[in-house]
Chain A
Amino acid sequence: MSLSNEQVVHLARLARLSIPEDVNVTRKQLDSIFVLVSQMQTVDTTDVEPMSHPQELAARMREDVVTETPCLAAFQAIAPQAEAGLYLVPKVIE
């Protein structure tokens, strides 16, 4: 199993990762991880239930009650830019 350079660039873009200009460097590093993955994939897991969490525990739940009190001022104080209660970000238009 290995990735193409195009796939590496695509994944880096999706994850907003800056990678070395020579994509081969990153691809080779990823490939070495895939060696391990390939090895694991040779194990027969036919009757093994997919594991979503390493601990055999169930989600703890809370009752449906409002417990939070507004702390807008504290949050806005640490935001790079805020106005009229809104957090301001560089313009995004789909």
Chain B
Amino acid sequence: MSRSDWEVVIGLEIHAQLSTSSKIFSGASTAFGAQPNVQACAEDIALPGVLPVLNRGAVERAIRFGLALGSRIAPKSVFERKNYFYPDLPAGYQVSQLELPVVQGGTITIRVGEGEGAYEKTIRLTRAHLEEDAGKSLHEDFHGMSGIDLNRAGMPLLEIVSEPDMRSSAEAAAYARAIHALVRWIDICDGNMQEGSFRCDANVSVRRKGAEAFGTRREIKNLNSFRFLQQAIDFEVAWQIETLEDGGRFEQSTVLFDPATGQTRMMRSKEDAHDYRYFPDPNLLPLMIEPEWIERVRATMPELPMAMKARFEREFGLSAQDAAALIASREMADYFSAVVAATGAEHAKLCANWMMGELAARLNRAGLEIDAAPVSGAQLAGLLLRIADGSISNAIARQVFEALWNGEGTDADEIIERLGLKQVTDSGAIEAMIEEVIAANPKSVEEFRGGKEKAFNALVGQVMKASRGKANPARVNELMRRRLGT
């Protein structure tokens, strides 16, 4: 048996913290970074007699998510109590949804890999439901006790559950990235993984190729980066296959990933789902969503990533790969749209090339996201128009871009003018330079006449050098050939 005899089956549960101002069942603030417990009100800390009141903003965000994936928005959904005891869960239960979640079904198309081997795949959503987050336990030593911070208690979460449709860690990471990009795109979650606004659990199992039944799965908890997600799955898959091939067995269980060792380790064996003793929360009436509300929300939805990708390919003739890169985030797509709006659609390919070439490289080196780029879309467009009309060469354009990036000018035209970078196309000026170069390099001229094409390139290079890169290379070529009589 070898690795290729096994099929990997992965399903993801993603917790996206919804970007509301107040909590899901109380009017306490959701702002990040507050002092411990100052944003935990009586409802959040479950004082006796408090009652939850549902946040309309949280429901609206769930509706937006459902609309984006073509899901069914349940006209009636029910909040239930998930019962367990833990100090950071003061009520002794978490309000969640089980039997009737607010978002049911739906699909998302992901793009896996890059370049030649890249492919698209549609992943099915099982459901997405609303629930409240729990608090945080701090285990540093407080005289042998644990400290509890309940600021996070009652934060609105959308738990997004996929079908077990992914067949590799690369597909799982691509799916997680697509959901991440989408929740930010439709403005329901800030996607900040460091702050825990977007967390992934991966259900992983393996089965022999061709087998129908799923293997025993293990759930990897709380993966807070896409890299860790992929690493953890790769380790877990290798461990499961090795264990099974050695004739071993394992139980359904929950494991933790340790980024320091790159390994997963057992956290607990699976409690039976019934152990949570779910039941409808008597304090919360069913959530009813009228079709009119859904339609009002639909009217505020932006163009979605895959629709935009298709439009970029259709309207601008971009390749699938270019279009996919441009819709990687809403900010990226907005930037591109701004540049193309200023240059005109006929230069869309040039815009895409520059965004994914020079701009992406500079952003990468500076560790910046595109919305923090020092060169605005309008500035880049101004630069690209000068390339397009032949005023400057690509090499000079990179120089101008550098100046724009460093804030050494307000726009491309101003920099080109000030630094005297405008391309020389005037025949007279170029011919004068050619004469100088020929006079100074009789040996090269001799060699060229003797049939050495290389010598010709050297001469052209000398002219370009004399013009400090500003001469139009095509024009120099043409005039040089004419001068040397070939």
Q: A and B from one assembly?
A: yes
Q: Which residues of A contact B (CB under 8 A)?
A: 14-16, 50, 52-53, 55, 57-68, 70-72, 75-76, 81, 83-94
B341 interfacial contact with A, CB 8 Å: no
CB pair B57–A60 under 8 Å, yes or no, is no
Question: Can you report 25 A-B residue pairs in the complex whose CB atoms are below 8 A from each other?
Answer: A14-B83, A14-B275, A14-B277, A15-B83, A53-B285, A55-B285, A58-B288, A61-B56, A62-B27, A64-B56, A64-B57, A66-B28, A70-B38, A70-B39, A71-B42, A75-B37, A75-B40, A75-B42, A85-B36, A85-B38, A86-B148, A88-B142, A88-B143, A89-B148, A92-B137
- Pick the contact of A64: B20, B42, B79 (CB < 8 A): B20
- Pick the contact of A83: B38, B53, B147 (CB < 8 A): B147
Closest chain B CB from A49 CB (angstroms):
9
- Contact status of A60 and B285, CB under 8 A, knowing A75-B45, A92-B137: yes
Ranked 9 nearest A-B pairs via Cβ: A64-B57, A67-B27, A86-B147, A58-B288, A85-B36, A52-B280, A68-B41, A61-B56, A89-B87
- Pick the contact of B28: A55, A68, A86 (CB < 8 A): A68
B29 interfacial contact with A, CB 8 Å: yes
Task: Determine the residue in chain B with the shortest Cβ distance to A55.
Answer: B285
CB pair B53–A60 under 8 Å, yes or no, is yes
Q: Which residues of B contact A (CB under 8 A)?
A: 20-22, 26-29, 35-42, 45, 47, 53-59, 78-79, 83-87, 99-100, 137-139, 142-150, 267-268, 275, 277, 280, 282, 284-288
CB pair B87–A92 under 8 Å, yes or no, is yes
Chain B residues with CB under 8 Å of A76's CB are 37
- Contact status of A88 and B145, CB under 8 A, knowing A65-B22, A72-B38: yes
Q: CA separation between A87 and B145, bound complex, in Å?
A: 10
CB pair A71–B99 under 8 Å, yes or no, is no
Q: CA separation between A57 and B285, bound complex, in Å?
A: 7
Q: Tell me the total A-B contact number using a CB cutoff of 8 A.
A: 126
Q: CA separation between A81 and B36, bound complex, in Å?
A: 15
Chain A binding surface, main DSSP class: loop
Chain A residues with CB under 8 Å of B100's CB are 52
Chain A residues with CB under 8 Å of B58's CB are 64
Closest chain B CB from A82 CB (angstroms):
8
Besides the known contacts A16-B85, A57-B285, 20 further A-B residue pairs in the complex with CB atoms under 8 A apart = A50-B99, A52-B280, A53-B285, A55-B285, A58-B288, A59-B284, A61-B55, A61-B59, A62-B27, A63-B57, A64-B20, A67-B27, A70-B39, A75-B42, A75-B47, A76-B37, A85-B36, A86-B149, A88-B147, A92-B86
